[in-house]
Structure 1
Amino acid sequence: MKIQITESLYKNVDDYFNQLLLKEDAIPEKVLEHCKNRNIPAINVAPNQGKLLHMLVRMNAARRVLEIGTLGAYSTVWMGLALPANGHLVTLDFDENYIKVARESLSIAGLQDKVEIRPGVAVDTLAQMLQDKEAPFDFIFIDADKENNPVYLQYALQLSRPGTVIVADNVVRQAKILDDSGKADNIRGLRQFFEDMAANPRLTVTAFQTLGSKGWDGLAIAIVNQ
C-alpha cells in the first residue's frame, strides 16, 4: 500500500518520537510552554531537534557553548542542560522582549548561573568578543537572521578551536536553498554560507533535510579541523 505523505502524517511521526523518547525531559517542556504563553514566535527548534543539540553538546564534551539567536531560550535550555558543572553558555540576541522571556526561561530551568545572555546586534557583540580575546568555544549554534550566516561563520571560525562543532538551523527552507536568483536576502546568505564552508579547508561539513513538526527544513553540521 502506497502511503501518502501529508503534513499531519509527518507531524504525527514527530509526536510519536517526542512522546516516547522525550517523556523524561520535563524542563524543556516547561520552557516551551512558557514561551508559548509569552507569545514568542513558534520558530524555535522542534523538541526532538532540541534534544539532538543536547546530545551533540554532550558527545563533544563541550564546556563552552556559543549560541547566535536566543529567542525565548528554548534551544538555549536544551544545550545548557547538557553542560557539565563548570560549563558556560553565551547566547546573543538584540530583541529586548525575547531577552526578557529568555531570562525567565533560564530561571525555570535553573540555568541562570551557567548561561549568559549578551544583548545587542550579534555582529557587534561577536566583534567585541574577538577584541576582548574571548576563549574559544567547543560548540557553536547559529540560528539567527540567515542573510548574516556568512558573517556569523567567519566569527565562529575565529572563536573556535580544532574539534569545535558548528551547527546551523533552517538551511533548507522548503527547498528554497535551491533558488540561485539572489532575490531573497536570507537564501542568498544561506547559499554563500554553504559555499564558504565548502571552500574552507578548515572545515568538514555535511547537511541534511528534516521533515517534521517544523515543516520541511534542515541542519548543517561542521567540525573545525585545524
Structure 2
Amino acid sequence: MATEIHPYAGAAVAAPYALDYYLVLPDRPSDETPADGIVVEEFVLADDHTAIGLDSAGWIAADGDWWSSAAFARGMRRDPELRRRVVAVPRRDAEVVYRRLGGGELPGEAALRSRFHDREPLGEPPLILNSPEVPDGFHDKRVYRVLFAGRLGRDQLAHLRAIWRMTLSDDFEDPRTRVAGTASLNVADDLFSWDLRRIGPGAAWSLDLTACLAGRSGDAVRPLLRELTTVMRHEGLIPVTIERFS
C-alpha cells in the first residue's frame, strides 16, 4: 500500500526545475583549498521525461574561465578516480565556494545555461519494451529507469530508507541482491512506486520508477524523477541517463 505523500515529494512537485551542482575536490582537500572548481549539469529531456542529452559546464579556480566538455561529463561517470573527486552540492553551497575561490557571485541559471556548448547525446528514442496492464482507476502506466554510477554503502542505504520510508530487502547488504529496497507514494490521484536496484555487484545502481497515472497530464512525473535523482546524487551517486521501458 502506498504511503501518504512524503514532505519532500510535495516540495518537489511545486519546485521549479534547477541545475545540478558539483564541487571538484583537489587530490588533497584542505581548509585553504576546499575545491578546485565547480561543475554544473542538466539533462535534456524529451516530452515523456526520458533523457536525450546532457549539458554541462565547468569552472576551475586556477583558470578562472568557464568551459563546456562532454568528455569531462563522461569521465565523471566512467572514471572512478575522477568520480571520487566530484561531490554533489545544493546551489547555495556552490555559491559559497565560488565566491571563496575568487569567482565572485555565481551566475544565475539562465547565464549558466548559456555556457553549455558541448552536449553529450544520450541513447536513442525510448525503448518501449511492452504495454503493461494498467490497474483499475488509472489511464496510463509507465516504467522509468534512472541509471547511476557509483556505490552505496550501508550508511547511505540506511539514510535512503529513512528519507523514503523504504522497505529494505532482508538481504539488502548482499551484493548479489538485485532489489535492495522499495518505496511508494501518492501524488494527488497518481500512484508512484520505485525499486532501488543493483546493476551488477558493485558496478552501478538504478532507481526504477513505476508511475500509475490517473490524471491526463502526468505533471508529477518530471519533478518527482528529479527529486528522487537529487536524493541519490547527495548520497554520492552520479546520474547517467533516464530511460523508459513502458
Structure holding more strand per residue: 2
Q: Which protein shows a greater Rg?
A: 2
Please, what TM-score do these two structures have when normalized by structure 2? 0.22
Q: Which has the higher contact order (CA 8 A, sep 6+)?
A: 2
Please, what TM-score do these two structures have when normalized by structure 1? 0.23
Structure holding more helix per residue: 1
